[in-house]
Amino acid sequence: MTTPAARADRDDVLRYLCVFLSVAHTGSVTRSSEQIFKAASAITRALTQMEQLLGVSLFERRPRGMLLNAYGEAVHLRARRIQAEIRQAATTLCNGQSTRKDPAVLTQLLLSGNKLRVFVSLASHGQIAASCHHLGMSKSGISMSLARLEESVGQPLFQRTAQGLVVSEAAEPLLLHAKRVFAEVRHMQADLMALQGSVEGCITVGALPLGRTRLLPLAIVHLLQKYPGIQIKTRESSYEELARDLGCGDIDFIFGALRPQEENRQLVSEALFVDQVRIFCRANHPLTRTPDHLSLATLQHNGWILPRQDSPARRALVRSFTRQGLSAPQPSVESGDLAVVRNLLTHSDLLTACSPHQLRYEMEKGDIVELNVDLGDAERSIGIIQRSGCHPPPAMQALLEEVRKICASDLLPCSPPAASYTPRRTAELAQHCVS
């Protein structure tokens, strides 16, 4: 668990980014002094403090100037991405003002001090007292920081309610970009560790139902055998909530059934295999005593456990019934929780439609069986969803490769892999940090 002090130290890198980017661009403290109107001594001091904070030297100091080394290149990549997010947030806020403000001035403000950190914490916790504990700051310090930020922005960033603080509609873009900024800061240190030969860091995966039971756990086991310093967190929720969290950088990628690309153009999908939806029931179910092929019409009025209406598996089942001129079955129970589905199946005559991967253990034990039903083209693509334009840290790259490997090797006969790939070694993961 990250302590408030460690979190503050890590996030303090933001205050040095403008100086760092200027020196990286000009290659000289003197030229940077002229460019950003700071004393050369102040620039030198800021760079030294930034290097001490990160624990590495970022420049090769030469008589004719300063040149980024490998660590500096890795930080430079993240710094430019952070700067772009801050600029976009500042531009959006300024464009929404009746009184014209300078986005460049607001950009400098957002990168200074702990204003962004306070804003994100208040948005997450909704209470000043909770943010005090989270950040290790006093109540007066947080209140003052928020007041200064709102004064500079020229509008309230929160609605004050009886339940606490709620982010205002105008401040939603700032929250989105601020969260992305801190995601880049988190990954910056992991990039530096990889360059030192240690793949570490914390990766958060949005786990959709299909991946939770076997594929993702196997990938995580293989990953930790290679890189025990990596920490994995999984988040189980609806696709809509996971997609929102992915968009703002709260999670790193989603694994499961893919959605149509047009549903969210800020996300990109990578299909790993095609999955067939099938129909399952408990062992010794009355329908298993019929040796012949079952028709969908026979099952239409049976009791069903089905996932949410907008889920890929539900859509695939509906398509199968519709193609045969039948109305889709109405579920007795609607649930995407596999524990609920398993227990209902084994203790009732209900049916369900899902992937064989989700019930693999129960099928191997003989508790649940597949019915002999032809659903036709009841397919859905399974794979990885990432935020468009993201630059995965080495730990995330390593986990993605394990997921791809598992999906290519641990499939049922009905699920052909979408493509082949070649795994990368630790050195290649480190090189990714500076390219």
Q: How many CA atoms lie within 13 A of 224 on its CB side?
A: 11
Give me the residue label for tokens 């083209």: 377
Can you give the residue ranges of every domain in the chain?
Answer: 4-177, 200-274+382-432, 278-377
Mean pLDDT score of the chain, rounded to an integer?
A: 87
Burial class (CB in 10 A: 0-12, 13-18, 19+), 85: buried
Q: Are 336 and 212 in contact (CB under 8 A)?
A: no
Between CA 238 and CA 66 the distance in angstroms is: 49
SS3 for 12-64 is HHHHHHHHHHHHHHHCCHHHHHHHHCCCHHHHHHHHHHHHHHHCCCCEEEECC
Check whether 162 has a pLDDT greater than 90.
no
pLDDT, tens digit (0-9, with 9 covering 90-100), for 35-91: 988 999 999 999 999 999 999 999 998 888 899 999 999 999 999 999 999 989 888
Nearest to 105 by CA among 84, 82, 122, 86: 86
Between CA 261 and CA 67 the distance in angstroms is: 42
pLDDT, tens digit (0-9, with 9 covering 90-100), for 253-301: 999 999 887 677 889 999 999 999 999 999 999 999 877 788 999 998 8
Give me the residue label for tokens 């859509």: 315
Which of the four pLDDT bands, split at 50, 70 and 90, describes residue 415?
very low
Which pLDDT score, from 0 to 100, does residue 416 have? 41
Check whether 417 has a pLDDT greater than 80.
no
pLDDT, tens digit (0-9, with 9 covering 90-100), for 217-261: 999 999 999 999 999 999 999 999 999 999 999 999 999 999 887
Nearest to 222 by CA among 410, 406, 411: 406
Q: Which helix (H) or strand (E) covers residue 280, if one does?
A: strand 278-282
Which pLDDT score, from 0 to 100, does residue 412 have? 43
Taking residue 269's Cβ as centre, other Cβ atoms within 10 Å add up to: 16
pLDDT, tens digit (0-9, with 9 covering 90-100), for 374-414: 888 888 899 999 999 999 999 999 999 999 999 988 554 44
CA 257, 259, 265, 266 torsion-angle sign: negative
Check whether 420 has a pLDDT greater than 50.
no
Query: 4-177 and 200-274+382-432 share one CATH topology?
Result: no
Which pLDDT score, from 0 to 100, does residue 17 have? 93
Nearest to 338 by CA among 303, 376, 311: 311
Q: Which residue type, as a one-letter code, is found at position 120?
A: V
Check whether 421 has a pLDDT greater than 60.
no
What would the CATH number be for the domain defined by 278-377? Answer: 3.40.190.10
CATH topology (fold) of 4-177: Arc Repressor Mutant, subunit A (1.10.10)
Between CA 368 and CA 39 the distance in angstroms is: 73
Which pLDDT score, from 0 to 100, does residue 433 have? 64
Which pLDDT score, from 0 to 100, does residue 230 have? 95
pLDDT, tens digit (0-9, with 9 covering 90-100), for 310-361: 899 999 999 999 999 999 999 999 998 889 999 999 999 999 999 998 998 8
Q: Are 393 and 190 in contact (CB under 8 A)?
A: yes
Which pLDDT score, from 0 to 100, does residue 5 have? 46
Tokens representing residue 277 in the block: 């939806």
Tell which wins on pLDDT, 112 or 69.
Answer: 69
pLDDT (average), residues 108-113: 75
Please tell me the pTM assigned to this model.
0.85
Alpha helices, H only, 196-337: 209-212, 215-226, 239-247, 296-299, 312-323
Nearest to 370 by CA among 300, 274, 276: 276
Per CATH, the architecture of 200-274+382-432 is what? 3-Layer(aba) Sandwich (3.40)
Provide the angle, in degrees to the nearest 10, between the axes of the packed helices 172-195 and 4-11: 90
Q: Are 63 and 28 in contact (CB under 8 A)?
A: no
Check whether 419 has a pLDDT greater than 60.
no
Cross-sheet strand order for the sheet of 278-282: 333-334, 304-306, 351-354, 278-282, 368-370
